Amino acid sequence: MKQYIITGALALALFSCADFDEINKNPNNPESVPPEMLLPPIISGAVSTMTGSGSRAGQYAQHLAWTGGTSEGDGRYNLTGASWRKEWNGAMRLLKDVNQLREIAIATRQPRYEAVALVCKAYILSLVTDAFGDIPYEEAGKGNVDGLEFPRYQAQQEVYAAILDDLETANQALKALPTGTVIDRDILFDGDPTAWRAFANSLKVRILMRQSRKMDVKARVAAIFNNPAEYPVFDGEGKQAVLRYDNRVDFYRWFILNPPADGSGVNFADNGRVSDVMVNLLLRDEDPRLAIYAAPTHNSYLAHRADPSVPLEYRGQPTGLSAAEQEELQAREGLDDGDFSVIGKRFRVENRAFLMTRAELLLLKTEAMITGMGVNGGAAATYREAIIASFDRWPLLEEAPYISGTMKEDYFAQPGTAFDPARGAQQVAEQLWIDSFLNGFEGWSAWRRTGIPVLVPGPSVLSPIPVRYVYSDNEQNNPSLVRWVQETMGGHMPDHNVKVWFQP
């Protein structure tokens, strides 16, 4: 009997050594995550980083303006490091997931996901450096690694160089994939590696042109546009980076509000309004995007509904007004709260967010042509193609404004809408600003680079128009940032009126 007990114990011990670890594996909680499982939340998070800029950077770019007195912080530039805490922390936390995606892809030898991780990292941190200036790049999101708890800061020009290197690495890795390769769970480009490659190269153009006032980028821009086999970009109708949301589970910012009870599809009570700069610019050229971007004033909507012969009116909100200045404006002009345009109905029923449009790429191509960068083609034709691409973002949609073929023809039939070499730089800059509506980062960055359109702050704002985000208050305690500021900025933490490097 004793012998049996010993033999049984020995067998149990051997069994335990061989299979105990296997038994303890929970099939519902795997130790390693397939890379494709990380992709949807990373893409959605990256897009949220951009869409969140619509209201804040969108005010600095004067796409939007808030009713006087309701946004003293952003609209009147009463800002502190706490103002941008969410923008900084959200992006840096997302980088942890991006790094994990890349590490798993490398460990499992899946280069398609490594390439996508590089594009996502480049995109997210391009937004962050555009806004904040000098940031961590190489070590960003690696606070879980010993010795990297406080990632090293890098100068903005060095960050841009690293972004371009990563995008080129991604371009080549995607080019080398076998025909038929699919990127699973890809909610941005439906698994198409060639579309990711076009996104990577189009982003390269954006980053290169961002630096164009501070360094010579001519050869690198020309190399991309003149060699489509090596550097494919958004090259056809509908080719752009746009996330189509599943509105059953994931809502774009403007869709969260409940539909209004009056059937208009417009939240006329919103304190966030379309700026007078945007409305006036679109009215000037009878631009059909006006009815996409802005709703008619509530008062004109009600009058038109009662009598269709009464025309709809559009009026933008001046920026940066105090409550008293808002009251004075309305009394002087005989207006009330129903006489200003809020964001249009199209954005209430849409389910798309645009990371980078084909129109933007074509406008940058036009700029490269007129500034002598050696890009093949004609500036006038490319400019026209760019505006049509911007119009084509808004095709027929039931019960919402859209841009028809007739509207496009009518626009170009007007004097002054065709490309004019004498004022081509202004035309391109204005169109970049218009096309980026609700992408506050891009509109703000384009304005900071070109100075177009002319933006005037409110009459009693607390500072000039902000030209950078300030490092969040908790980040200002980071010893890596403190050391960087001491070594490169004379020990003075930059405020929102200190230019970032790319600005002329």
Given pLDDT bands bounded at 50, 70 and 90, which one contains residue 305?
very high
Q: Is residue 383 part of a domain?
A: yes
Give the per-residue pLDDT at 71.
60
CATH number at residue 185: 1.25.40.390
Strand-pairing partners, residue 135, are 154
Judged against a pLDDT cut of 70, whether residue 25 lies above it is answered with: no
pLDDT digits (tens, 9 = 90+) for 79-106: 887 888 889 999 999 999 999 999 999 9
- The pair of structure tokens assigned to 227 is 């060699």
Give the per-residue pLDDT at 70.
63
Q: Is residue 484 part of a domain?
A: yes
Q: Is residue 171 part of a domain?
A: yes
Neighbours of 119 (CB within 10 A): 25
Give the per-residue pLDDT at 84.
85
Q: Is residue 12 part of a domain?
A: no
| Rounded alpha-carbon distances, angstroms, from residue 70 to 83, 162, 234, 297 | 16, 40, 40, 19
pLDDT digits (tens, 9 = 90+) for 177-226: 999 999 999 999 999 999 999 999 999 999 999 999 999 999 999 999 99
Contact call for residues 357 and 315 (beta carbons, < 8 A): no
- What mean pLDDT comes out for the span 280-304? 97
Range of 223's domain?
35-242+349-488
Count Cβ neighbours within 10 Å for each residue of 247-283 and write b for 16 or more, e otherwise. eeebebebeeeeeeeeebbbbbebbbbbbbbbbebbe
Given pLDDT bands bounded at 50, 70 and 90, which one contains residue 148?
confident
Question: pLDDT higher for 18 or 326?
Answer: 326
**Cα separation of 368 and 376, whole Å?**
10
Q: Is residue 452 part of a domain?
A: yes
pLDDT digits (tens, 9 = 90+) for 356-408: 999 999 999 999 999 999 999 999 999 999 999 999 999 999 889 999 999 99
With a pLDDT cut of 70, the percent of the chain lying above it is: 90
Residue 82: left (phi > 0), alpha (psi -120 to 50), or beta? alpha
Given pLDDT bands bounded at 50, 70 and 90, which one contains residue 29?
very low
Please identify which residue in the block is written with the tokens 């490091």. Answer: 81
Least Cα distance to 324 among 59, 72, 1 occurs for 72
| Rounded alpha-carbon distances, angstroms, from residue 132 to 58, 128, 207, 500 | 15, 6, 15, 7
Cis before 288? omega within 30? no
Q: Is residue 15 part of a domain?
A: no
Contact call for residues 323 and 91 (beta carbons, < 8 A): no
**Cα separation of 387 and 384, whole Å?**
5
| Rounded alpha-carbon distances, angstroms, from residue 60 to 185, 356, 439, 440, 471 | 36, 20, 12, 8, 17
Cα-flanking dihedrals φ and ψ of residue 374, to 5°? 80, 25
What SS3 class is residue 401? coil
**Cα separation of 154 and 136, whole Å?**
6
Judged against a pLDDT cut of 50, whether residue 14 lies above it is answered with: no
- What mean pLDDT comes out for the span 160-175? 98
Q: Is residue 502 part of a domain?
A: no
Report residue 149 CA to chain centroid gap. 28
Mean pLDDT of the chain: 90
Given pLDDT bands bounded at 50, 70 and 90, which one contains residue 72?
low
**Cα separation of 341 and 350, whole Å?**
18
In this structure, the dihedral spanned by the alpha carbons of residues 96, 98, 102 and 105, taken in order and rounded to 10 degrees, is 110
Contact call for residues 129 and 51 (beta carbons, < 8 A): no
Judged against a pLDDT cut of 50, whether residue 349 lies above it is answered with: yes
Least Cα distance to 244 among 57, 441, 43, 392 occurs for 43
Q: Is residue 9 part of a domain?
A: no
- What mean pLDDT comes out for the span 330-352? 92
pLDDT digits (tens, 9 = 90+) for 417-471: 999 999 999 999 999 999 999 999 999 999 999 999 999 999 999 899 999 999 9
Neighbours of 439 (CB within 10 A): 26
Give the per-residue pLDDT at 457.
93
Give the per-residue pLDDT at 143.
82
Q: How many independent structural domains does the chain possess? A: 1
Q: Which DSSP letter does residue 82 get?
A: G
Strand-pairing partners, residue 353, are 243
> Which range has the worst mean pLDDT, 130-134, 293-297, 456-460?
456-460
Give the per-residue pLDDT at 5.
39
Give the per-residue pLDDT at 52.
87
- The pair of structure tokens assigned to 60 is 């600095």
Judged against a pLDDT cut of 80, whether residue 33 lies above it is answered with: yes
- The pair of structure tokens assigned to 5 is 């007990």
Residue 417 burial (10 A CB sphere; 0-12, 13-18, 19+): middle
